[in-house]
Amino acid sequence: MSLNAVIFDLDGVICSTDRFHFLAWKELAGQLGLPFSEALNDRLRGVGRAESLELILAGCSRSFTPAQKAAMCEQKNLRYRQLLCQMSPADLSGEARGALLALRRGGLLLAVGSSSRNAPFILERIGLGGFFQVVADGSQIARSKPDPEVFLLAAKRLGQAPQRCLVVEDAAAGIQAAKAGGFWAAGLGAAASCPGVDFPLRSLAQLPALCAANR
């Protein structure tokens, strides 16, 4: 395998902002008179903002202009960022911190590959600003997961071929993106049983040993 780098999805892998996404989308959906559930929120994991809005509007009989949709996305993001201000280094688990430090001590290159444009802000809030060699996020790509663009960008900026990188994901869209880009894929949570996963993980604590065995 000759692994040189690990590329992490952010939300649901390094930390969790699901509760903030849920509250912000639910507030917007309520203003539109649309239902919003935990199940629908789960479908939005790993999916870009504009694509998420389309999924929410799928059951709506009204039509909206591109400008109106852009305004909705901006409204959701402003509310989401307000909620993110509640985050602190306490939102980074000891398990995640320990795994990241062990990987860095092991000489691996580390990157974040996230569809979220808020990834740098979140990393700063949880005390990981400047920790990763590369942060590729939604502001730098044209296509969200399951397109592999964000992972390919991260690998390129690390100077590594996809086959030398392990992607760590918790969402089906992210696993699909990793495999479409030619990466090795490790799945956490529900993603551990996704088709194409090379390494199902129970926790991030397993990562250092896994990577050391595949250097």
> Does 18 qualify as catalytic in the annotation?
no
Give the Cα separation of 166 and 3 in Å (integer).
Answer: 7
Burial class (CB in 10 A: 0-12, 13-18, 19+), 75: middle
> Does 42 qualify as catalytic in the annotation?
no
- The amino acid occupying position 154 is A
Catalytic residue among 9, 137, 147, 170: 9
Catalytic residue among 11, 137, 147, 170: 11
Which H or E run contains 5? strand 5-8
3-state SS assignment for residue 1: coil
134 Cα distance to chain centroid? 14
List residues with catalytic annotation: 9, 11
